[in-house]
Amino acid sequence: MATPKKGRNASAQSKPGRSLALILIAIVALTGGMFASGHTKPRLGIDLAGGTSITLRAVPEAGNESAINKTNMDTAVSIMERRVNGLGVSEAEVQTQGRDNIVVNIPKGTNSEQARKQVGTTAKLYFRPVIATEVSGGKGAASPSPSPSGSPSGKPSGKPEATEKNSASPSATPTTQGRAVTDGLKADATPSASASDKPESSPSPSASDGSAQADANALQAKYAKLDCTDTKTRSTVGDGVKASQPTLACGKNSGGQWQKYILGPAEVDGTDVDKAQAVLNTQTGAGWTVTMDFTDAGAKKFGDITGKLAQNQPPQNQFAIVLDGDVVSDPSVRQALTGGNAEISGNFNQQSAQELSNMLSYGALPLTFKVDSMTTVTAALGGDQLHAGLIAGAIGLALVVVYLLAYYRGLSFVAILSLMVSAALTYTLMALLGPAIGFALNLPAVCGAIVAIGITADSFIVYFERVRDEIREGRTLRPAVERAWPRARRTILVSDFVSFLAAAVLFIVTVGKVRGFAFTLGLTTLLDVVVVFLFTKPLLTLLARRPFFANGHKWSGLDPKSLGAQPPLRRTRRPSAPVETKEA
């Protein structure tokens, strides 16, 4: 029997147990992590688990119908995708339909109402100064809103405040110097917290101010009648109002009550926000906060308006962040914020801070969108297709196993175990990737997993045939296993590289469900390399030491006689010359 040469091959042949132990530890660790996280099943996509389908229709501003074009629609799709991703939603589909529609499909398990607000509330984002606010349906003069919009954390907290990022708020209380800056309302027409809010001397309105005064009176009358608890009223409040005009708006406070507002003209819009993010502030103990970075132009605008607001008393030292007529937050200002950034702190938890940062980051769209329809998608059809797909996959797997048993006999034991290891790794990773990166299993992904069965089996066959070729050349099994490995390894790596490259290109250039197929194909291709290197090769090395395989049993699949093996050349002898005999 030939002995292996010293070096890497000898080491690999003598210590296959290490590789098997490593992959066993990996399977145990992944399985343990799966059960520890509570996610024991892969997350399903909308076509398998059902979900929500939202159809949005683009509505251009009056006189600007040309705004509905491919560039703006693609921009809107990109922003909506980022919004949905900001919710932690995976496998959501955002795509254009026709000239002016966008369809958003969101899998089951996501708060559909929250998702609708994120993708359906697509008007431009504005920062407006607060003129007056009170609880809708309440009595008396306007009073400052008691808390930020959004989900409360349950901790007692005052008004949210906007301060310079990484700096403390000033301790001194600003003095009252009249109203918050706005040209939309006149002093006499605006509800105020008290009469002392008015300047000590105010010039009488001239005749040229008559129209503005009338508008202010009309707005005040609407404000008095505004009932934000009525859904229909909330859906139309602020409709048709330009950014340069004062408006009415509604928003919820931390107690869950509807708050109504009179807001001045927009001073800053969503395009002036360069970046916003939710941050856990552990240095000052402020908890979850929302930080904003402005563009150069936005920084100047924001610095100007906050400087003017800081001179007023509540509620006129507040600015409202308004998205499609809803006040999503109304922080107060105690100093001019001129550094090009700001931090909103207050009664936030992680969810409410993330929601506000998403709206600030992705609030500005080039078009206004209206929700045309919002329907629930059932998984009945997808479930039937999944059932049919799983049956097809089971039949394909059974045929592969039958072929392996018939052709490779005992050697098929290695292939079947390798397929089981590959399946275990694929399943646990898919279950863990759901909560980790938002991977969701859809029908194309299932197809990718089924295709992977053939790719994985092909790698085993390449190696087995190399081993059998070595046996046909007259070598015994143990050296045949080692000599066949380098050539088989190169072939397997090249084949898997091509498959992975195709999957990567497909993932990059496609959208929607096709990416699920590409991702699954790429994942299973990588796992094929891991299984072949750390399981199939070491296991075959161990089995080559067992008499059943080493002696070439006829049911081992490695019988030299069945393979047509020829004796080694070094054992052959030349025939002797024939001896002539004479008859007596």
Structure confidence by residue, pLDDT tens digits, 84-104:
765 555 556 788 888 888 888
3-state helix, strand, coil in the chain (%, to 5): 50, 15, 35
The two structure tokens encoding residue 142:
């306007």
Q: How far apart are CA 483 and CA 4, in angstroms?
A: 9
| % the chain with pLDDT above 70 | 75
Per-residue pLDDT tens digits for 105-151: 777 666 666 666 667 554 478 899 999 999 886 443 344 333 333 33
Confidence of residue 2 (pLDDT cuts 50, 70, 90): very low
Q: Where are the alpha helices (DSSP H) in 38-69?
A: 46-49
- Please report, as a single letter, which amino acid is at residue 452: A
Using DSSP, state whether 545 is helix, strand or coil.
coil
567 pLDDT above the threshold of 80: no
Q: How far apart are CA 180 and CA 15, in angstroms?
A: 79
- Please report, as a single letter, which amino acid is at residue 159: K
The two structure tokens encoding residue 152:
């409360």
To 5 degrees, how large is the angle CA 236–CA 357–CA 431? 110
485 pLDDT above the threshold of 90: yes
pLDDT of residue 248: 92
Q: Where are the alpha helices (DSSP H) in 410-513?
A: 412-437, 443-472, 477-509
Per-residue pLDDT tens digits for 184-237: 344 333 333 333 333 344 444 454 456 777 878 888 888 988 998 887 788 778
Confidence of residue 271 (pLDDT cuts 50, 70, 90): confident
Q: How far apart are CA 492 and CA 500, in angstroms?
A: 12
Strands 101-107 and 93-97 turn out to be: antiparallel
The two structure tokens encoding residue 471:
């046996």
